[in-house]
Amino acid sequence: MAKDNTNKFDVIVIGAGPGGYVCAIRCAQLGMNVACVEKEKTLGGTCLNIGCIPSKALLSASEKFEEAEHHFKDMGINTTPELDLPKMMGFKDGVVKENTKGIEYLFKKNKITHIKGTGKIVEAGKIKVGDDEYEADSIVIATGSDVASLLGIEIDEKQIVSSTGALVLDKVPGHMVVIGGGVIGLEMGTVWRRLGAKVTVIEYLDEILPGMDGEIRKESRKIFKKQGIDFRLSSKVTEAKTSKKGVELSVEPANGGDAKTLNADIVLMAVGRKPYTDGLGLDDAGVTLDDRGRVEVDEFFESTLEGVYAIGDVIKGPMLAHKAEDEGVILAEMLAGESGHIDYNLIPGVVYTWPEVANVGQTEEQLKEAGIKYNAGKFPFMANGRARAIGMTDGFVKILADADNDRILGAHIVGPAAGDLIQEIVNVMEFEGTAEDIARTSHAHPTLTEVVKEAALAVHKRPLHI
């Protein structure tokens, strides 16, 4: 029940993922009376329950396992690790629980009313959850996304799993075939490879990590291949037959040709995600979707129905938790009468394998296509003292700066802690800074951040340590 025993709020947010819960918190901070509707038992959405957080817990645990198994001995530590998978899964579940409970605490702290159930929009200003009706000046759709599959291939979450099923396997598969060489496929494939599975990634395009800088895509694949992942590029899966023995896949060249059979114990479907609007009643309420099923919004996140807004995975833009959060904050501020702006070009993307892959801004391919003149600076981790000291020398940092004014236009990293290193460049780009700004800023020695500095120096053809 709402505050003051009424069902009337300033803002009702539907969905408690990173977009929805952050929007609710910011609205509350700005003095609004807020409710957040969530259909699942726990708060936090895809990200905290079946996405970012559990995948990173398993990536971190499996990375330590692989380190102990293969790399400790290089540093004079002899040990033979033994996998206790139920305990590793328990660790991951514990991390998820701590995080989702954390959102419950934040809701209480900010006096946000948590409405349990599925929200349906009746009309502008009115929603229904079960038989109960609630009113609000503003309604925010933050219902996120769901797993996508290929036509004719059904995800049963037993033998053909989505990322959700891949997070809860009860034994290490002998052979896991991952359909899709994007972020989620590579992260989950890496987890199970480290724990002992043979992993094959099938990708329709001629390179993995679509959308990233070409050189980084190629280098990342070389590193993942060296780690043991088998890649079938320019290939498509046309059929999947399950039996007690496993899954039999038909794989054809992307442009057509003879099909080959590939047998797997587990198939991970990782071809992307689609916006989730089931049960919201958008059609009847008059909220328009675009041709890809996303809620159509204007620059103020307002949908075609006045007073109904949408943020996060359910609208256009990269399907990333921090993008959803940023939109949640800005929308709350706009609802409070303030102004807000988000530069989608400056939203970083990270692949949490090891080495990590990270990017921000334009790729070389995009700059060439746009006819923008740029200078590129590149520096390898191999030439960095700290990278050698931690035994992680794969990869490089690449910075692309405008040839006329030296402003950084894009940065691309494959290497240790790439996801953390990219942030320095995001901040500099946010202030419209230059490669020179980074090159002349003191970077502690010995740190991996010196690779970023050297790449900035390399933009002006004067790296010091190579």
Ligand X SMILES: Cc1cc2nc3c(=O)[nH]c(=O)nc-3n(C[C@H](O)[C@H](O)[C@H](O)COP(=O)(O)OP(=O)(O)OC[C@H]3O[C@@H](n4cnc5c(N)ncnc54)[C@H](O)[C@@H]3O)c2cc1C
Give the closest residue to 409 by CA, choosing from 441, 379, 433. 433
Taking residue 68's Cβ as centre, other Cβ atoms within 10 Å add up to: 15
Q: Is 153 in the site for ligand X (CB under 6 A)?
A: no
Which residue in the set 33, 100, 145, 159 belongs to the binding site for ligand X (CB under 6 A)? 145
Nearer to ligand X, 184 or 267 (CB): 184
State how far the Cα of 96 lies from the Cα of 348, in Å rounded to an integer: 24
Q: Is 324 in the site for ligand X (CB under 6 A)?
A: yes
Report 175-234 residues binding ligand X (CB under 6 A): 184
Nearer to ligand X, 117 or 174 (CB): 117
Which residue in the set 2, 30, 40, 149 belongs to the binding site for ligand X (CB under 6 A)? 40
Give the closest residue to 292 by CA, choosing from 310, 270, 314, 260. 314
Contact 265, 247 (CB under 8 A): yes
Contact 216, 209 (CB under 8 A): yes
Nearer to ligand X, 143 or 449 (CB): 143
User: Is-cis flag, bond preceding 416, omega within 30?
Assistant: no
Nearer to ligand X, 261 or 427 (CB): 427
CA–chain centroid gap for 452, Å, is: 23
Q: Is 173 in the site for ligand X (CB under 6 A)?
A: no
Which residue in the set 11, 13, 34, 52 belongs to the binding site for ligand X (CB under 6 A)? 52
- Rounded to a whole number of angstroms, the minimum distance from the CB of residue 366 to ligand X is 21
- Rounded to a whole number of angstroms, the minimum distance from the CB of residue 89 to ligand X is 15
Give me the residue label for tokens 């043991």. 228
Beta-carbon contacts of residue 299 (< 8 Å; ≥ 6 apart)? none
State how far the Cα of 246 lies from the Cα of 159, in Å rounded to an integer: 7
Report 248-307 residues binding ligand X (CB under 6 A): 276, 279-280
- Rounded to a whole number of angstroms, the minimum distance from the CB of residue 47 to ligand X is 3
70 catalytically annotated: no
State how far the Cα of 33 lies from the Cα of 208, in Å rounded to an integer: 46
Q: Is 38 in the site for ligand X (CB under 6 A)?
A: yes
Catalytic entry in 175, 341, 443, 445: 445
- Rounded to a whole number of angstroms, the minimum distance from the CB of residue 391 to ligand X is 25
State how far the Cα of 159 lies from the Cα of 263, in Å rounded to an integer: 12
DSSP secondary structure string, 96-118? Answer: HHHHHHHHHHHHHHTT-EEEES-
- Rounded to a whole number of angstroms, the minimum distance from the CB of residue 118 to ligand X is 4
Q: Contact residues for ligand X (CB under 6 A)? A: 14-20, 37-40, 45-47, 51-52, 55, 118-119, 142-145, 163, 184, 276, 279-280, 312-314, 319-322, 324, 352
Catalytic positions are: 445
